[in-house]
Structure formats: structure tokens, C-alpha cells
Structure 1
Amino acid sequence: MNSVRRKALAAASALTLGIGLAVAGGAVPAASAASPETTFLVLAPQGAKTDRAAARVAAAEGTVVARYDQIGVLVVRSTNPAFATAVVGAGVESVAATAGLGSALEEGETVEVAAADVAAATATADPTGEPLIGQQWDMPMIGVPQAHAVTAGSPDVVVGVLDSGISSTHPDLASQIAKDRSTSCVGGVVDTAEAAWNPTTSDHGTHVAGTIAAAVNGVGVTGIAPGVKVAAVKVVNNDGFIYPEAAICGFVWAADHGMQLTNNSYFIDPWEFNCRNDARQRPVWQAVQRAIRYSANRGVLNVASAGNSNYDLAHTFVDPNSPNNGTPEIREINGACLDLPAEAPGVLTVSAVGPAGEKSYYSSYGQGVVEVTAPGGDSRFRTQGVSPTTTDQILSTTFNTVTRTNGWGYKQGTSMSGPHATGVAALALSAHPGMSPGQLTAFLQNTAVAKPCPEGVYNPAPLHADGPHAYDATCSGGARNGFYGAGMVNAYNVVK
């Protein structure tokens, strides 16, 4: 669906597998009306304590609900309509309202598979492995079977999944979750109760977690690094929005709780691109960048999805679709406007490919922006003469938030390619502990399998309903290029 392609880093569709298991995950409901109480980010000067800022908040009739002294950021709520003006003064560098600033995590439609089809798929899978491994075309594409002969990962490596929560009852994930490091960050406030970080209206995070670390236990699928642990860091609220304060909380939480990696399959704001020359958005950029820099300094590599809009992120273009929660403004996107967190400095940005190994029709790209590529699925484009199907998407763990049942299903998007790169990074750290985020980024690029640019204009979906040239794209660069960065991540190359 066109709106999904442009607005979200989420899955385009899902397919549930498993006899007796219900369809996983419905569409996320629309955002509710804004509350009279507004949330703000209040930034103290870089490197300064937040005491003076907190005093100004109180004087301006605001309440501090979360205090991130590590980065000089306060999360504040206030019903004072003049708060943003009243709080400005000594001890406050900048302030921005976050009410209504969020990107809907759209998940598209779901498709149910007949039990007979599931049984046939299970019967043809490797009986010595996981029952559904035969449908995980993405795993051999990046050398996972060979890597598992060397290592499946170390439990000392913990990956923070900044997403919609992880089902703690899923048979492929229950043993994989570091519960003592999991939390909800919704609202920018930490809540470590297990119910708080479990999924409520979206199974997106459960799917992502399965790709990274689903257990090898004779049930369902395998993850890329089943020996590592994942921590649920819930940043998606019940309306499907990722607000800046939640993402900031997530980055800081991961840094302070011993995580070496985070996976980020989302973008912040209703604007797909946050413009630093826009006074409405500059404080959000500053606060998010502080949080990312803080986590990197604490040894965390943050991995992010490139996006599903088929944009060339390295060049100026027109975005006619933001904000996604109001009347869109047609505006020119240039170097001052960045997709957060994907284009933030120090973040590993991942594009997507389908079963043919070519750029997925929806994947955004850009020379100097995309570092590596990984399987994300592509239900529209295959090699010539081969018809694509739903199974050309990525199979992983799912959770039906209505019936509260676990399952397995297909989704596609750079939301799915990101966790493939994160899983490979987790294996790399398991085999070679102690690498800094910068060293790990370089290692992933140097061990990737280079992919050249296709010649001419790339037209992956000429029969698409949006038109014969709706997904045209032009790749630039050589061994490292705009479509694939340094190339396809490879699990075996990082552990051998």
C-alpha cells in the first residue's frame, strides 16, 4: 500500500504459520487526539547539569517526569499553554514540544495459511534443524548455517531491541530475553515491569527479535545469533507512535545497562526527515544526537533501517508526505534534513534486498549513507520469469495482540534488514569481543560481500499499481555504493 511504503519502516504484510496459531498482528490503530497536557524536551547546555533547567521548568508550571542528567535532557509535561516561552532562560539551551511528534508503525494486512500448507512446509524442512528453516531463505543468503558451525553467539552479548516490545511467552524467544535489562520507555519514563515491555498493539518488535536471536530448540525458526540475549526496550506506544522522548530513553537505557548493540527499525517525528534548520525540530535533533553519542561512548553500536520510501538519501529531493499526522507540507529535503536515527552520525545504516539479492523495491538508499545491506524481503520483484510470493518476505516470530497468541509469520521492510545486520554484528562481537562501535562498523563493512550497482536505471517493479516507474532508482558508486554500501553482511565471514 502506497501510504505504508512512504510513511513507515514497518512490515508491508504478515503471514502466520503454525497449526492452531492465530493470525499475528493486525493494523495499528490511528493516533488518538492530543491531550491538553503536552510533553516537552528541555535541554540544558551541553555538558551542564540539569538543576537550573529543572528549576525553570517548575517556575513555568511544568513537571519533570524523566531526568537524563547523562545528556542534559529533561522530559517534561505541562498544561501551561505558554510553557515553551516561559521556560526559556539561564540553564535552558532549547525546548521543543513532542505532542503529536511520532511516526505511525504501520504493519499492513495479514494473510492466513491453511494448516495443510503449513504441514507441507514443515515436512520439507531439514528434520535435524528447526521445523521452518526451509522457509528462511534469508539465512543461507548471509552464511548463517556455516557461521553456526563455528558459533551461535555468546550470552555475554546483549542486544537492545528498541521497538514495540517482545513477547516473553513466545516458545522461540522465552529463553532468549534478558528480562533484567528489559524495560518500557514509552513516555520517556522507565517501567521495568514485564507487562510493560511486552507487546500490546504491535508484534513488530517480536518479529525483529526472532530474526536476531530465535532459539535453536526444535520449534519454529532460527535466529542469526541464537546464543546471544535480546532485551526488550519498548519505545512504541499503544497508538503506534515512536516519540522522541521514548527513543532517547531507549538509547540511554541500553548504554547504562551493558548492551553492546541496539536495533532501531523506526524513524522519529511525524516528519520522515528532521530538519536542523527548522526551529520546531532542531531541539529534537539535538537531544536524540546527544543520546546516540552517549550510547556510542559507552560502547553501543546502534543499527538502524534506511527506510521504505525508495528515496536517494544522498541527494536533494522533495518530500510531499510529511507530517504523517496532519496536513502534509511539500518541502525540499537537503543536507540539513536527516532521517533519525538512520542518518545520525555513528549509526550503522542498512538497506534491504529480496530473494534475488537485489535492492528491494521499497528500500531507500544513498551513497555515503548506507553502510551495508541485508535481506529485508521483496514481494514485488524477483528475477525475470519468477513470480514473487508472500514467502519472498522474511519469516520470523509473531504475536497476535488481540488473541494474545504466539506464532510465526512473514513481514518485509528495512525493518527486517536491520535486525539481520544486528544479528551478524552480535556474532562478530561473540567471536571477537572487545571491539568498539567504530571498529565493529568497519569490521562489518570489511567482511561484507561486495555488490556492484546495476547498470542504468533500476526498475524493480514495472507492473506495480503505483505505475511502471514508481520505484525507479539509480545507484551511484563503485565497490561501495548507494544501494548496498560495502555489500551484503555475512555471518560466516565475521566468525571464521
Structure 2
Amino acid sequence: MKNLRRKTLAAASAVTLGVGLAVAGGVAPAASAAGPDTTFLVLAPQGGKTDKAAARVAAAQGTVVASYHQIGVLVVRSTNPDFVTDVAGAGVDSVASTAGLGTALDEGETLEVSAAEAANTTADPTKEPLFSQQWDMPMIDVPQAHAVNAGRADVVVGVLDSGISSSHPDLASQIAKNKSTSCIGGVSDTTESAWNPTTSDHGTHVAGTIAAAVNGVGVTGVAPGVKVAAVKVVNDDGYIFPEAAVCGFMWAAEQGMRVTNNSYYIDPWELNCRNDARQRPVWKAIQRALRYSQSKGVLQVASAGNSNWDLAHKNTDTGSPNNGTPEERENLTNSCLVLPGEAPGVVTVSAVGPTGEKSYYSSYGQGVVDVTAPGGDTRFRTRGVSSTLTDGILSTTYNTTTKTNGWGYKQGTSMSSPHVAGVAALAVSAHPGMTSGQLSAFLGNTAEALPCPGGVYNPVPLIAAGPNAYDATCSGGKRNGFYGAGMVNAYNVVR
């Protein structure tokens, strides 16, 4: 999602290939001149075994680097330029190439906080040195929740992101290292250096919002009693490929995590259309992985995005694919979805600023947004009141150049989503028997309803884009397109 992205999408080199394949005979194809080493998702028929698909891969000069047999998905590499057509045959449902897809992470503007400000000796969460700057935590009643239940250590939240700094003083004790991994390339690598951040501290910031320790240093997380696991799905170029997301969902399921946070969209289509043959294989693979994860009790929480889109009324996408020349796709329907945010069973989160109103950038949509949470609004406060960077979300940071830890502000639905993931972790801690579906419903039932603003919502951005650049219209009643069921509430889920 554009919560991780630049407004102008960066281009990558390869072209997406995704086709539905008819069942054909098993004659081995002739060898072709070697092409670039390309990664593919190869899908067996739903409910089928991967044996025949793996045989077709070998015959088509491909190598299986990861097999998710539980869902019939293979991650394959091949230099055969004709791999997509050569692999067609019995046991193969569809295939999509994924190499070269992606959009660079947009770190945005970050205001760092000095280490001196972050030092203290208290263990009282409301007296953490930087708590007074965490306007977001009182907004969702985190102090009241901590007095009842700050989370259980056997509850693990998977942070599918750019890695987590294992040396950060607010996070070192909070990371479940035995459940952390890198999923870059679609293959799990549990080496600690592999899942630490290398080019982005986005995941470190997200992790702090979820579970920064109450230790007299820095900030507090929503659920400091739980653990977080780094599940690195963002590569060093800031790209998020489908095979990494599939690996992340499957890893979370097999490691017994109860919640994952997902602040990204899967490239190269910001809207992935199930009825488009190029995009359908990626949709199928992600959907299979999500369903499997949900069946294992994992609740996925995802951000709605930063495009100020009405996701309930999609019409035109002019920015996809982002790995080449964008196509102007018109007359889109709701079969075109942002993944993973709009996939069934995923809790989709919009963002509000310090005033409690929708952040200017936050996407929205009735029936799409489930709940809202603080995400910051740093260009201005809503209704045109001047703002500063401190109206963003303060959390843990890591400078990947100097290799130093710190604290700083960021904004986006990337920041609102981990608030909800943290509240979900508190809910599981207090009510451990809930299924992922029950947990999702519980978050909505305990949220504080927020009404739609009247008329066209226009926060009057003080930017060159113009006075109407962020117009949005809210629809619905108690449950509406801007805020879903309302603001999540940490105290309500534990009392």
C-alpha cells in the first residue's frame, strides 16, 4: 500500500507474467537460450498435491526453492525465457513471474528524539520518558488497559515488514528470536542478521508501536507484555514481492503467531483484479496463504493505504503496474482489490490524526475499513490548523547508515495498523480462546464509534496540490467508510 510507498511509483525492470494454464501433455520442452534469473509462483490446482507441478517445473528448466505444499504453491527460479509456457501441463493451475516487481519504500520525514530525552528509571508506563509525546496511546486508552493487562509473553505478533533492530533498548527484550525470520525470495532464513533491518527502519518503528518495553527507556508499546517476531518481507531495495508475502503468512501460521501486522501492498498492481489473467495467480497464492494462516488462528491486520482512495467505489487505476509503463485501467469493479488489505478475513485500518479526524492521506471505504487508529497527521492538523512533525506517531527507530538506535516520528496508515495489532494482542492475552474470526469481530464490537463528518470532508491541505486535493466523502452511519466500527480501544478489550 502507499503507506510504504512514494506517491510517484518507482519503476522496476521486469514485466509481470501471469496466465491461467490449460492441462496439456507432459513432453519436455527443448532448451532455450538462458535468460535472466527470474522468480515464479507456480500453483497446483486448489486442494491438489504439488508433485506433478514440481515435475513440470523440472521439465521446464526451473528449480523449486520453496514448497508450500499445504496450499499448493511453489516458489521457483529459472533462466528459461519460455518458462511460463513450458511449465504448462497436468498438475499446474497457473503461474506468475515476480522478479523485478516492486515499489521502493517511502520512509517519509522522520523527526528523531535525543537519547537523553529517552532515558529514565521508572517502570510506570505513563512515566516512560517519552510517553508525554505519545498522544496516540491515551487516545485508545492504553494506560487504563495496562492497569488491567499489558499482554502475555506467550502471545506473539508477527511484524511482516523490513526487519526489527534486535539491539534496540526498547525492543531487545521484546523480540521472539526463535520465531523470527527473513522471507526474502520466498525462502525462510532464521539467521539473526537476515531479519535485522538493512536499508529501512520501517519495521522497527512498527514493532515499537506494538510492543516497546516498559523499562524506563523511551516509549511504551500498546502491548508491552507480548512478544513480536520479525518476519522480513521487504528486500534491500524496498520491494515486496508476492513470494515473500506468501512465505510470511505461512511462517506466521506454522510458528503459532496469533496476529500479524501488514503495512504494505503486494506489487506490481496496486489494485489486483481477480478477473485479469496476469494478476489472478498472485491473487490465488496470497488468498491461499491467508486462508491457511487464518485456519491456524492467525489474525492479519493491514493498513488501508495512503492514497485517500474510496476503496468501496473503485473506478480508475492509472499507476499500475509499477514495474513498467502504467496502464490506465478504467471501469474497475470491486473484484479489484488492494492486497493484502482488502482480502477476506483481514482487518483493514484507516488512520486519524491528533484531533481524532481522518488523516488527510488515509484511504477509506464503507464495507472496506473495519476500524481506525492513530496514524498521525504531520503536514497540518485537520480543518487547516497548522501542525508539526510531533503530530506523527513516536516510536522506535534505527539508522541503517550509522547503525544506531533511536526514537522518532512517522505518519501513515502504516502507523495506525500496528496500534490495532497491539490491541488485538491484548485481546488475545485477555481472551486466549478466540478464533481469528472471533477476534476480528471483538475488535469491532469494542471500538468506540466515530460519526461521519457532514458534507465533503476537506482538511484544507497547505500544499501545492490545491485546496481540493484531499476531498473525501464519508458514507454510512454508526459503522462508516472513514472509521469502520470506530476507534479501537485497548481498555475495552481487556476489562
In the superposition, the TM-score normalised over structure 2's length comes to: 0.92
> In the alignment, which residue of structure 2 is the partner of 1:72?
72
Aligned partners of 1:190, 1:424: CA distance in 2, in Å?
A: 28
Identify which of 130, 133, 152 aligns with 2:131.
Answer: 133
Residue 358 (1) aligns with residue 366 (2): no
Return the offset for 1:127: 9.7
Mapped to 2, the partners of 1:344 and 1:137 lie a distance apart of 31
SS of 1:317's equivalent in the other structure is coil
In structure 2, relative to structure 1, the CA distance for the partners of 1:378 and 1:480 (3 Å cut) is same
Structure 2: distance between partners of 1:202 and 1:323: 23
Q: 1: CA distance between counterparts of 2:42 and 2:83?
A: 11
Residue in 2 that maps onto 1:381: 380
Question: Deviation of residue 254 (structure 1)?
Answer: 0.3
Which digits, 9 at most, give the CA deviation of each residue in 1:103-160, with x for residues without a partner?
Answer: 32211244456x6xx867989x999721000100000000000000001100111000
* Structure 2 match to 1:487: 486
Aligned-partner Cα distance in 1 for 2:272–2:367: 18
How large is the RMSD of aligned CA atoms in angstroms? Answer: 2.2
CA distance in 1, matches of 2:221, 2:125: 17
Q: Indicate which of 204, 209, 234 corresponds to 1:236.
A: 234
Q: Is the Cα–Cα contact under 8 Å of residues 458 and 473 in structure 1 kept in the other structure? A: yes
Counterpart-to-counterpart distance in 1, 2:400 and 2:10: 12
The residue number in structure 2 matching 1:108 is 108
Aligned counterpart, 1:25:
none
**1: CA distance, partners of 2:181 / 2:10:** 23
Residue 379 of structure 1 deviates from its aligned partner by: 1.2
Q: CA deviation at 1:205?
A: 0.3
Instruction: State how far apart, in whole Å, the 2-side matches of 1:233 and 1:385 are.
Output: 39
Cα deviation for residue 102 of structure 1 reads 2.3
Instruction: Give the partner amino acid of 1:99.
Output: A
2:258 alignment partner in structure 1: 260
Residues 8 and 104 in structure 1, CA contact (< 8 A), matched pair in contact too:
no
**Residues 5 and 103 in structure 2, CA contact (< 8 A), matched pair in contact too:** no
Q: Provide structure 2 residue ranges, at least 5 long, that are not aligned to the other structure.
A: 16-34
* Corresponding letter in the other structure for 1:245: E
Cα gap change, 1:205/1:120 in structure 2, threshold over 3 Å: closer, same or farther? closer
Q: CA, structure 1 residues 135+75, in 2 after alignment: closer, same or farther (shift >3 Å)? A: same
Structure 1 residues 405 and 212, CA gap change in structure 2 (3 angstroms): same
1:149 alignment counterpart: 147
Describe the SS at the equivalent of 2:457: coil
Distance 2:210 2:99 in 1: 32
Partner SS for 1:191: coil
Q: Which position in structure 2 is the counterpart of 1:324?
A: 322
TM superposition shift of 1:100: 2.2
Does 2:76 align with 1:87? no
- Distance (Å, rounded) in 2 between the aligned partners of 1:340 and 1:128: 36
User: Would you say the 8 A contact 2:195–2:232 is kept in 1?
Assistant: yes
Q: Against the structure 1 CA distance between its residues 33 and 43, is the aligned structure 2 distance closer, same or farther, given a 3 Å change threshold?
A: closer
Question: 2:306·2:361 contact (CA, 8 Å) conserved in 1?
Answer: yes
The residue that corresponds to 2:366 in the other structure is: 367
CA distance in 1, matches of 2:202, 2:231: 13
Aligned residues: 472
Q: 1:347 is matched with which residue?
A: 346
Name the SS of the counterpart of 1:397 in structure 2: strand
Q: CA deviation at 1:334?
A: 1.8
3-state SS of 1:233 partner: strand
Sort the Cα spacing of 1:40 and 1:427 in 2 relative to 1 into closer, same or farther, 3 A.
Answer: same
Alignment correspondent of 2:18:
none
Q: 1:188 to 1:383 in 2, by over 3 A?
A: closer
Higher mean Cα deviation, 93-102 or 234-243?
A: 93-102
Equivalent-residue separation in structure 2 for 1:358 and 1:64 (angstroms): 48
Mapped pair 1:286 → 2:284: yes
Task: Pick one of 296, 301, 304 that aligns with 2:302.
Answer: 304
Structure 1 residue identity aligned to 2:205:
H
Residues 1:250 and 2:248 are matched in the alignment: yes
In structure 2, the residue corresponding to 1:349 is in which secondary structure?
strand
1:450-488 per-position Cα deviation (integer Å, ceiling 9, x unaligned): 001000000013432211000000000000000000000
In structure 1, give the amino acid aligned to 2:4. Answer: A
Partner residue, 1:17: none
> Residue 24 of structure 1 aligns with which residue?
none
Cα distance in 1, alignment partners of residues 13 and 389 from structure 2: 32
1:161–1:232: 8 Å Cα contact kept in structure 2?
yes
* 313-322 or 368-377: bigger deviation: 313-322
Question: Can you list the C-alpha shifts for 1:255-303, whole angstroms capped at 9, x where unaligned?
Answer: 0001000000000012111111211110000000000000000000000
Cα offset, 1:316, TM superposition: 2.6
Hey, what does 2:410 align to over in structure 1? 411
Q: Could you tell me whether the CA contact under 8 Å between 1:380 and 1:461 is conserved in 2?
A: no
CA distance in 2, matches of 1:112, 1:266: 23
Q: Which amino acid aligns with 1:208?
A: V
The match for 1:23 is none
Matched, 1:8 2:2: yes
3-state DSSP of counterpart to 1:482:
coil
One-letter code aligned to 1:44 = A
State the secondary structure of the residue aligned to 2:253. helix
Alpha-carbon distance between aligned partners in 1 of 2:137 and 2:162, rounded to the nearest angstrom: 24
How far apart are residue 253 of structure 1 and its match? 0.4
Change (3 A) 1:29 1:192: farther
Indicate the larger mover: 453-462 or 201-210.
Answer: 453-462
1:86 Cα deviation after fit: 0.6
Match of 1:246, SS?
A: helix
Distance in 2 of aligned mates of 1:385 and 1:483: 19
Q: 1:221 to 1:188 in 2, by over 3 A?
A: same
Separation in 2 of the partners of 1:227 and 1:29?
Answer: 39
Check whether the contact 1:38–1:98 (CA below 8 A) recurs between aligned residues.
Answer: yes
Deviations 1:397-443 (A, max 9, x none): 00001111100010000000000000000001111111001111111
| Counterpart Cα distance in 2 of 1:413 and 1:11 | 10
| Alignment-derived partner of residue 166 in structure 2 | 168
Q: 1:166 to 1:121 in 2, by over 3 A?
A: closer
Q: Residues 325 and 341 (structure 1 numbering): CA distance in 2 closer, same or farther, change over 3 Å?
A: same
- The residue that corresponds to 2:182 in the other structure is 184
Between the aligned partners of 1:31 and 1:227, the Cα distance in structure 2 is 41
User: Is the alpha carbon distance of 1:282 and 1:433 closer, same or farther for their aligned partners in structure 2, counting shifts above 3 Å?
Assistant: same
TM-score (normalised: structure 1): 0.91
Residue equivalent to 2:424: 425
Q: CA contact under 8 A between 1:184 and 1:234: conserved in structure 2?
A: yes
Q: Which amino acid aligns with 1:426?
A: A
- Counterpart residue type for residue 10 of structure 1: L
**CA distance in structure 1 between the aligned counterparts of 2:156 and 2:126, rounded to whole angstroms:** 27
Q: Distance in 1 between matches of 2:488 and 2:398?
A: 28
CA distance in structure 1 between the partners assigned to 2:118 and 2:388 by the alignment: 15
